[in-house]
Amino acid sequence: MRRLRPVLAMLSLLAAFVTALPTSPVDPPPVATVAPEPPVPPPLAVSETQVRRGETLEAALLRSGVPRTDALEMIAALRPAVNPRRLRPGERLLVARAGSGETAGVTYWRSPAERHELTREANRWTLETVQTPVEVRIVAVAGRLEDSLFASIDRLGEQPALTAALVALFEWDFDFAADSLPGDRFRLLVEKRYAAGEFLGYGNILAAQYRTSGRPPLTAVGFGDGDGATLYYDGAGRSVRKMFLRAPLDFTRVTSGFSQARKHPILGGVRPHLAIDYAAPIGTPVRAVADGVVRSAGWNGGNGISVMIRHARDYETMYNHLSAALIRRGERVRQRQVIGRVGSTGLSTGPHLDYRVAKQGRFVNPLAEKFIPGAPVPRERRRAFESHRDTLLQRLEREAPFASSRDRS
């Protein structure tokens, strides 16, 4: 106990000394000041409008609720990049509006590969054009005819534009209304265009074949002319394009053929029918089958509204029972030009086209006439064509083989 007393005394003195020391205030830790967050602007309201057939860009913008002044200024800003008169139905306009209702911007989608963005800056509209890279894929398409070519290609998931392109390749040699049969086969290599994985449309058909009973397959091969254009030739290197088309209508059917003795449906009795009748709805476009000059256009007795065209090499064609003639006497027309519309005028039992061909003043059967063949591949490019043809047809055979032989015409 005596030993602890000095230690306790020392501790007491130390405590008294610490207590006597002056105390200084301790500053509290600084408090971080938080700046107030700026107010979040309300989200823009976006509405979508699709361009209608025959509609102008101004009309589409006004229908979207864009004020006329803004619409005119937007069109002026777009003009360097877009022809506002060449709109396609289905093109999209996305209009963004602020909470006040003021137009904040417009996005004009022409396709998945092309859009034009208009934004307001310093009281004017500025334009930014965005192009998405386009991917081209070469695809084989093949099928069998069950009813019509149009329906058969549609069942494959393809669009009508592909059917029209295929028909256009063979329309000088084959009448799909008169000559096609169930069981016919077709195949082609075609370019398909995509942007961001979305299908845009078709490019060129590279090669195509159509096989029907009783004749070699029709063949068309695209081959560059050296100047950037693609021309089409058959397997032997002759141009598929000829002086005359096989038919003046697309996607229709023959209801009466060429005959020297047919019972007339209105006048009765047996009479010659020196024409091919094509059934089609009223208003269906009728095409000139060859270049020529219009001899007559107008009412022609029992033929109703009729057009007659004079062609080279003493040929003439007639198009009868039209609902309207779209050309005039003396006018020069080009092959495939629309010259009239199907009707049922004159001595007609229903809507159809009565189509006639005369050679040296005498009517001939349009489906049996052998018209002038097309020009061949130039001699100096013959080897290049043959190599190109063989490569495409071999690929077509690998990817879409016909069931039977591999004839080439």
The larger pLDDT score, comparing residue 43 to residue 122, is at 122
**CATH 3.10.450.350 spans which residues of the chain?**
45-131, 134-242+374-409
State mean pLDDT over 273-292: 89
Reported as half-sphere exposure (CB side, CA atoms, 13 A), residue 168 has a value of 14
DSSP 163-217: HHHHHHHHTTT--TTTT--TT-EEEEEEEEEEETTEEEEEEEEEEEEEE-TTSPP
Res 52: pLDDT = 92
Average pLDDT, the chain: 84
- Please say whether the beta carbons of 169 and 240 come within 8 A: yes
Decide the pairing of beta strands 315-325 and 305-310.
antiparallel
Tens digits of residue pLDDT in 116-132: 999 988 888 999 999 99
Task: Write the pLDDT tens digit of every residue in 166-209.
Answer: 999 998 888 887 788 899 999 999 999 999 888 999 999 999 99
pLDDT at 2 over 70: no
Q: For CATH 2.70.70.10, list the domain ranges present in the chain.
A: 253-364
Could you tell me the fold of the domain covering 45-131? Nuclear Transport Factor 2; Chain: A, (3.10.450)
Lowest mean pLDDT of 249-253, 289-293, 342-346, name the range. Answer: 249-253
CATH node for 253-364: 2.70.70.10
Q: What is the pLDDT of residue 30?
A: 64
CATH 3.10.310.40 fits 134-242+374-409, yes or no: no
